[in-house]
Structure 1
Amino acid sequence: MSIWWSLHLRREAASVPLARRLLLGTMETAGVDREISYELAVALSEACANAVEHGTNERTDAYRVTACIDGDTCHVEVTDAGPGFPDTDTPDADASGTDASGTDTPAEHAPAEHAPAPAGAPFAPPPAPAPPVAEDGRGLRIIETLADHVRFHNRPNSGGAVVSFDKILKWRDDSLLKVS
């Protein structure tokens, strides 16, 4: 059995705990280990906070959160309509998986925690670390630390950033969805 949900939320601070509580309620009902649930909730909160802070344009003031539990994996994706991640066209590799010379650049050459961006989506590199005295700028790094696989990319054609991450689930003994 799979559980899937999607929310379209206004870019308001109050939307962040709403998304987090829905995820935590789903995890609790399904029987996911509380520590794993908490880590997913913190990662989701960081992704939503980034969408609220950075994800606006003149067309819309909303963002989308989608979550899916399928088997022993939870996949979460937060998509906004803002300017997206900085343009990162580099001679090393493009989103098609080839470098400037046309040579394939296999995914195994990418950092382990980052999967390649979907075809046509500009690749967004891992975020730079925040300065030690900065009061913000750590959200994407927190997501990287808490999730098993993380992808940062821009939405092709329509603009906006996409932060998606996966986490392998552990189940409580009383779990309704425990994978055998």
Structure 2
Amino acid sequence: MSIWWSLHLRREAASVPLARRLLLGTMETAGVDPDVSYDLSVALTEACANAVEHGGGPARRGGPASEAYRVTAYLDGETCRIEVADSGPGFQRGGAPAPPAADDAENGRGLRLIEELADHVHVGRTGRGGALVSFDKLLKWRPDAPLALA
């Protein structure tokens, strides 16, 4: 069985816990191991926080600046993929993020944390030039998982 959902969220701090709760609820209902769910929810929180802070695009043709970002989650077979896309300036230097921040820095550790929590991370640009962060993780299932494919 596959599950996927997509949210179009305003770039407001209050949207971040909404996305996180939806992901955790979906994974709990499906029967995903709580440790895996927690790792993915922290990674999602970091990606959403980046979109909220940095993801605003410039006004287009006299319209307002972009005040939204998109979160999509796919649970398909043994893998979960999460994508967070915004309409901000994207990443510099051909899609590569800035070098990792120092351990004691207040900002700049989000992408490094996502890389530690996920199995595969891709950072790039959306078709409209904004930032796209996607990450995958292999799923582990609870023994009583109603949706496990094992």
Q: TM-score, normalised by structure 1?
A: 0.77
* Structure having the higher Rg: 1
Which residue is 2:149 aligned to? 179
| Unaligned ranges ≥5, structure 1 | 89-123
Counting aligned pairs with the same residue, the percent is: 67
Q: RMSD across aligned C-alpha pairs, in angstroms? A: 1.1
Which residue is 2:126 aligned to? 155
Please say if residues 39 and 117 of structure 2, whose CA atoms lie closer than 8 Å, have aligned partners that are also in contact: yes
Distance 2:104 2:146 in 1: 44
Against the structure 1 CA distance between its residues 14 and 151, is the aligned structure 2 distance closer, same or farther, given a 3 Å change threshold? Answer: same
Q: TM-score, normalised by structure 2?
A: 0.92
Against the structure 1 CA distance between its residues 73 and 132, is the aligned structure 2 distance closer, same or farther, given a 3 Å change threshold? Answer: closer
Which residue is 2:99 aligned to? 128
Which residue is 2:12 aligned to? 12
Higher strand content, 1 or 2: 2
Q: CA deviation at 1:133?
A: 3.2
Q: Which amino acid aligns with 2:146?
A: L
Q: Which amino acid aligns with 2:85?
A: T
Distance 1:50 1:21 in 2: 18
Distance 1:38 1:126 in 2: 24
1:1-150 map, 5 Å? 1-57=1-57, 58=59, 59-88=65-94, 124-125=95-96, 127-150=98-121
| Unaligned ranges ≥5, structure 2 | 60-64
Number of residue pairs matched by the alignment: 144
Moved over 4 A (4+): none
